[in-house]
């Protein structure tokens, strides 16, 4: 079985103020645009991890919202991370695949623990990290 590289890009506070694709919605953020471009070049498949929507396809149409994991309780953060892991499985991501998470620690704290607990291999990068080759 061939393993895939899967990119998980964090949602951002800065958003467009109208309905559009998820990739377009978050494109107000310089960091998101940089990581989106990087992910398209380096990973086989990419998703956004959203505080409001969970696992989001880049072309999924979303309306603007204001929700942040900082507002979640620890129990809600854990449930959010489990929801993301379950949806990755539904999308066909297996433990043979390598997951690259580009997000601030608030998003990776629970998500990395849950994914590793399910046997996924992950690498986490902060949103400010921009080395030439992260992988």
How far, in Å, are 113, 119, 135 from residue 106 at the CA level? 12, 21, 21
Q: Closest by alpha carbon to 65, among 28, 12, 29, 106? A: 12
Would you state the structure tokens that stand for residue 131, as one six-digit string?
A: 């080395």
Q: Domain segments of the chain: what residues?
A: 5-125
* Cβ–Cβ under 8 Å, residues 92 and 4: no
For residue 8, the SS3 value is: strand
How far, in Å, are 5, 96, 132 from residue 43 at the CA level? 5, 14, 14
CATH class of the domain comprising 5-125: alpha beta
Residues of the chain with pLDDT under 50: 134-135
- The alpha carbon dihedral of 50, 54, 57, 60 has a sign of negative
- Residue 66: the pLDDT is 84
- Residue 130: the pLDDT is 60
């Amino acid at each position: 079985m061939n393993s895939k590289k899967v990119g998980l890009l964090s949602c951002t506070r800065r958003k467009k103020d109208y309905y559009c694709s998820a990739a377009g919605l978050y494109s107000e953020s310089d960091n998101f645009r940089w990581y989106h471009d990087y992910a398209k070049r380096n990973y086989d498949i990419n998703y956004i991890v959203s505080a409001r929507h969970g696992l989001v396809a880049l072309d999924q149409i979303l309306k603007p919202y204001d929700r942040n994991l900082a507002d979640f309780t620890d129990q809600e953060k854990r449930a959010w991370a489990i929801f993301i892991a379950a949806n990755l499985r539904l999308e066909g991501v297996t433990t043979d695949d390598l997951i690259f998470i580009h997000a601030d620690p608030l998003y990776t704290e629970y998500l990395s623990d849950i994914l590793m607990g399910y046997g996924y291999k992950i690498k986490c990068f902060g949103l400010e990290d921009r080395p030439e080759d992260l992988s």
